[in-house]
A and B are shown apart, each in its own frame.
Chain A
Amino acid sequence: MQLKSRHLLGLEGMTAEEINLILDTAASLKPILDRPIPKVPTLRGKTVANLFYEPSTRTRFSFELAEKRLSADSVSFSQSGSSVSKGETLKDTVRNLQAMKIDTVVIRHGASGAPHFLAGCLDASVVNAGDGTHEHPTQALLDMMTLREKLGKIKGLKVAIVGDILHSRVARSNIHGLSAAGASVGLCGPATLMPVGVSDLPVRLYRNLGEALEDADVFIVLRIQMERQKRGMFPSLREYRSLFGMTVERLEPLKKEITILHPGPINRGVEIDDAVADGRHSVILDQVTNGVAVRMAVLYLLSGGRGKIEMEDHGQA
């Protein structure tokens, strides 16, 4: 089996089979990361360009490592601010990439739809590494991989996404991905950070965090950006924490096992307490490890790979 598209632009519209294909492939690739020489020759001769138009440490390192583990040649570029403000348009960047015979482009961009724009004018495969407030598909895939690893399955899970849904590409990708994979998704956050028309998506809306804690098994806690408060989206971090913070006091009385994910970077003491982020419910560091495996799987599958990767060891020579 192969992916239907040669791009990974988002999880909206992706089938459970495709998602499982990526997660299975990632699981089969993950052991490579524990080898003494964690490298296979799978993408030898392929060239990947990482274009990061927004600051990112975790995602960029994760993609770069995934590329190196698969022996792809990679070049990276990061620049804060939009391409337009710097004078060179995205289209010019694209033309340059085309001329340099790049096979795969990984792009993070502040404008929703920027990867779609690239996909429309490039021969290369395009991987969305986060576009504006649209999607961040590899983040949702690594979340799903982590859940599958820890809980054995995704189907039937009740997942609550907590926080700034309006501006979250992680939330959108998880809504599409998790519901395609058979989980039920609920949203919880300040009314001002809940997008219009969200109830038309396959989600339930929790009235408050208490209701979510009672109902869900899994919590994806989103980062709250300080600038949202300055733009008047909510009154204060203090009040945010008291209504939506994953605090020790809230979790202590819970009688059930829950799993907590966070896409990072964490605002400790705001959306999540230290003790919770580092506590027994948290799988935050597993997410980071799985991020590399998932990105390896995506790069491999988009380069034409089918199903399970050959695990021969000549890469270790």
Chain B
Amino acid sequence: MARPDFKPVRAEAVCLTGARLLDPASKLDASADLLVAEGRIAKIGAAAGEGFEGLRIDGAGLTVVPGFVDLHAHLREPGREDEETIRSGAEAAAAGGFTEIACMPNTNPPVDDRPSVEFVRGRAAGLLTDVHPIAAITKGQRGEELVEMADCAEAGAVAFSDDGRPVEKASVLRRAVEYAGMTGRPVISHSEDLSLSDGGVMHEGVRSTRLGLRGIPSISEEIAVDRDIRIAEYVRGRIHIAHVSTAGSVRLIREAKARGVAVTAETCPHYLTLTDEAVQGYDPNAKMNPPLRTAEDRAALWEGLKDGTIDAVSTDHAPHSAEEKDVEFDAAPFGVIGLETAVGLLLTHGVHKRRLTLRELVLVFSVLPRRILGLPEARIREGADANLTFLRPDAAWTVNRDGFFSRSRNTPFHGWALKGAAAGVLRGDQFYLAP
């Protein structure tokens, strides 16, 4: 698969001139120069670059915000390096505006002990975008025995998840939430009742009936979300609900938060922009789990994002090879890639459609995912670590999967016209700025 060469720039010091600097937490929204030296923000101000002899970046048209985090990506290393490696995933993430990503453990073999966590950390060393491993909840993701959570956390796991499948036994999830509490790391739940999903491949409704495809009902997610919230509530533990897709789940999470349950949640760009209508024509790139739902669900997700019920937007980046994906709908694996389209989609369909402000975009892509994963805050202020995302909020562009840094091409957004793009990232002494 031809993919462009990713060439980040390494520089001891760099001066960014004329960009808009936006960091709500630091009460910063100004057009100013920003000087980075030795991996830190050295100076911010109208004359910050005065007398600076080093590398200058023309920031005209750029908006610089605290580094974005994707808290839910699937990289396929080890096991399916043809689909994505830790490096190619990190490069796609940098191009897509993420300075840090967390990767799910459902590789082959899965990340479920210290050596496998260290393997991911080792592969990620030195990359522009930092890759944080998420360790499995149970050994082999089999849903039975807990992994050595403390050991994994110490090795660098930022969370625990059996994502890709639910922890079927409530008793096992209960122990996981209790035990993970000792590590301070969250359990991320793929909430699904498999008996209700029952081999389904798309949202169950009139469209699945018309297409003759087996349906996954909304209650397959909602019953599991309800169960998982009750477990967290009962043991006074923390739980994070992955890829929320239904209005009913939003309601359950809203009610739980109002009761004071330590639940957080994410949704994904595809649930915010598509509906099950995209399955018409049996496009395997419209197949993911949970499935694309209805227009009412989509509206409820935007509402939940706006009012804080849903904390974060994650990509659920799930690379699959063309050989695997370009088959009859039933046979295609679930999942779409998203690292290089997420920010553009949220700018276009969120910010420009006035569903979210740019400030809220920073919340859902940076502040809150950092809080969920316990990552340090990213701030734009003098002395802070340089951890910046570059946006071109008004740039018009067309999604072209053949230009992706990801090794995979399974996107439902190919050919979409977007307004607003991620333009790269700066982290420490490296940056990437899209041409």
Contact = CB atoms under 8 A, between A and B. Distances in A.
Interface of A: 12, 82, 84, 89-91, 109-114, 116-117, 131-135, 169, 172, 195-198, 200-201
Contacts of A84: 327-328, 331
Interface stretch (B80-88, B205-213, B348-356): B205-213
A73 B207 CA distance: 38
Contacts of A117: 282, 327-329
26 contacts: A82-B331, A84-B327, A89-B327, A91-B326, A109-B328, A111-B328, A112-B213, A112-B282, A113-B211, A113-B212, A116-B282, A132-B330, A133-B212, A134-B212, A172-B210, A195-B208, A195-B209, A195-B215, A196-B208, A196-B209, A196-B217, A197-B206, A197-B208, A200-B206, A201-B206, A201-B209
B208, B211, B212, B213, most chain A CB atoms within 10 A: B212
Contact of B330 (A111, A116, A195, A198): A111
A109 B282 CA distance: 14
Given A89-B327, A117-B327, A131 B206 contact: no
Nearest to B323: A89
Which are the 7 A-B pairs with shortest beta-carbon distances?
Answer: A134-B212, A197-B206, A113-B282, A112-B212, A111-B328, A195-B209, A111-B330
Interface string B315-338: 000000001001111110000000
Category for how many chain B residues contact A: 20 to 34
Contacts of A12: 210
B308 to A, nearest CB: 32
B204 A201 contact: no
B205 A113 contact: no
Contacts of B51: none
Contacts of A200: 206
Nearest to B217: A196
Contact of B329 (A113, A133, A195, A201): A113
Contacts of B126: none
Contact of B211 (A82, A91, A112): A112
Given A84-B327, A112-B211, A112-B282, 6 more contacts: A111-B330, A112-B213, A117-B328, A134-B213, A196-B209, A196-B215
A209 B214 CA distance: 26
A179 to B, nearest CB: 13
Interface-centre pick from B210, B328, B330 (highest chain A CB count, 10 A)? B328
Contacts of A112: 211-213, 282, 329-330
B281 interface: yes
A170 B345 CA distance: 40
Contacts of B209: 172, 195-198, 201
Contact of B206 (A114, A116, A198): A198
Contacts, number: 74
A131 B328 CA distance: 11
B109 to A, nearest CB: 24
Interface string B186-229: 00000000000000000011111111111101000000000000
A133 B329 CA distance: 13
Contacts of A131: 212
Contact of B210 (A82, A90, A201): A201
A68 B214 CA distance: 36
A114 B328 contact: yes
A117 B214 CA distance: 17
Given A112-B329, A113-B328, A134 B211 contact: yes
A66 to B, nearest CB: 24
Contacts of A201: 206, 209-210
Nearest to A12: B210
B322 to A, nearest CB: 10
A116 B215 CA distance: 19
Nearest to A197: B206
A114 B205 CA distance: 20
Contacts of A89: 323, 327
Interface string B280-292: 0110000000000
A57 to B, nearest CB: 22
A134 B210 CA distance: 7
A135 B329 CA distance: 15
- The interface centre, meaning the residue of A113, A131, A197 with most chain B CB atoms within 10 A of its CB, is A113
A15 B327 CA distance: 30
A110 B213 CA distance: 11
Nearest to A198: B209
Contacts of B214: 133
Contact of B212 (A90, A169, A198): A169
Contacts of A90: 327-328
B205 A111 contact: no
Given A196-B217, A200-B206, A135 B327 contact: no
Nearest to A114: B328
A254 to B, nearest CB: 31
A114 B327 CA distance: 8
Contact of A132 (B205, B212, B323): B212
Contacts of B217: 196
A134 to B, nearest CB: 3
Contacts of A196: 204-206, 208-209, 215, 217
Nearest to B322: A91
A9 to B, nearest CB: 10
Nearest to B282: A113
A113 B210 CA distance: 11
A123 B214 CA distance: 29
A84 B205 CA distance: 27
A91 B321 CA distance: 14
A12 B212 CA distance: 12
Contact of B207 (A91, A116, A172, A197): A197
A82 B330 CA distance: 10
Contacts of A133: 212-214
B213 A113 contact: yes
A135 B215 contact: no
A111 B206 contact: no
A41 to B, nearest CB: 36
A135 B212 contact: yes
Contacts of B323: 89
A246 B303 CA distance: 51
A247 B210 CA distance: 30
Pick the most buried of A82, A131, A197: most chain B CB atoms within 10 A of its CB.
A197
A59 B210 CA distance: 22
B205 A197 contact: yes
Contacts of B330: 110-113, 132
Give the most central of A110, A116, A172: most B CB within 10 Å. A116
Contacts of B281: 116
A19 B329 CA distance: 28
Contacts of B331: 82, 84, 111
